[in-house]
Structure 1
Amino acid sequence: MAQHLMRKGFIGFAIATSLLMMACTSEQVSSVPAPETSPTEQPAADAPAAEEEKTGTFVSAEAPTAGTVKLVTQEGQTTIELGEEFKTSEQGPDLVVVLHKSADVVGETTPPTYPLKEGDYVYVADLEAFSGAQSYPVPQEIDASEYQSVTIWCRKFNATFGSAALQ
């Protein structure tokens, strides 16, 4: 029995010594929080900065048309970008996107169709959708700086649906 107690004592001593050694050699955990650092904002590497940007808001003419437009030039390419909130009537056949020389297409044309005069505008592209974000590259042979507005136009009936002066 004495031998059994001695063995238990030895095991207890070994466990206590092991725990003490582990406590002395373990890493200290600091209760002081590390200083907070704020991330540095970096411009997105894949989004080149616009060389030039003009914006406008559509005004209705022949048909309800609303939303915003941007004329953006990046790396020599000019693009017309209709905003997500863009919307025009679905009633028109042959709707197209044109650049117009006038900043006030609706004010300078005659109701009810607000017809455009040849030579005052240049065709850019067929309208892809009656609503939502859309992008139209302006052909390289067109100097967009000569135009003051983006217009949604029904080519078949020479009717302006809406126009946005660019600023």
Structure 2
Amino acid sequence: MKLKSLLMLSLTSLVIVSCAKEVHSTERNIAVKPQENPVVQLAKSPQPNTIKVGNFVSGEHKTQGIAIITKKSGKSFLELDKSFKTSNSGPDLVVILHRSGNVIGSTKPPSYSLKKGDYIVLGRLQKFSGSQTYAIPNNINLADYKSAAIWCRKFNATFGAAKLSNS
């Protein structure tokens, strides 16, 4: 009788340990999955001085990153974040604000050319990648401009644009 009880107890213990090990293994796999498939955040969390923000989409050339309009000390700025990157294959690249909320979709490939009067030039592109800041003239009504874009003035070609939405 004692042997039967001991055998039952051993068998029960073995089953419990096996189940516990299986649960532990499952929990470990769940913990690993988020590391295998990290969630990429497309836009920064808005800062208190952020007015508008948007993600670049490619036009004539691959362009990526985030455009942010901020206000500091009563002045407005367009900032391209550290993830910004565009092609270095164009001459006379400038940063613009555009009236359309869909610059790439409302223009025709391959160059995605722009019409005079639909944009304002903020300045020459400082560098092809990384964070950079452009002052927006005080007389500009930001409500009139719905996108930021990288534009080749010489060939009237839009490299990429970011639709700006209120933060």
TM-score, structure 2 as length reference: 0.69
Aligned to 1:120: 118
Q: How does 1:42-57 map to 2 (within 5 A)?
A: 49-50=48-49, 52-57=50-55
Equivalent of residue 163 in structure 2, options 140, 162, 165: 165
Q: Secondary structure at 1:97's aligned position in 2? A: strand
Aligned to 2:90: 92
Q: How does 1:19-98 map to 2 (within 5 A)?
A: 49-50=48-49, 52-98=50-96
Residue ranges of structure 1 left out of the alignment (5+ in a row): 1-47
Q: Secondary structure at 2:104's aligned position in 1? A: helix
In 1, distance between residues paired with 2:87 and 2:116?
24
In 1, distance between residues paired with 2:48 and 2:67?
18
Counterpart residue identity of residue 143, structure 1: N
Residue ranges of structure 2 left out of the alignment (5+ in a row): 1-46
Equivalent of residue 152 in structure 1, options 134, 150, 153: 150
In 2, distance between residues paired with 1:134 and 1:119?
25
Q: Contact 1:61/1:114 (CA < 8 Å) preserved in 2?
A: yes
TM-score, structure 1 as length reference: 0.69
Displacement of 1:75 in angstroms is 2.9
In 2, distance between residues paired with 1:103 and 1:73?
21
CA radius of gyration, larger in: 1
In 2, distance between residues paired with 1:49 and 1:103?
23
What per-residue deviation string (whole Å, max 9, x for no partner) do you get for residues 69-127 of structure 1?
A: 10112332110000001000000100000000001000000000000011111111110
Identity within the alignment, %: 49
Larger deviation, residues 73-82 vs 154-163:
73-82
Moved beyond 3 Å, runs of 4+: none
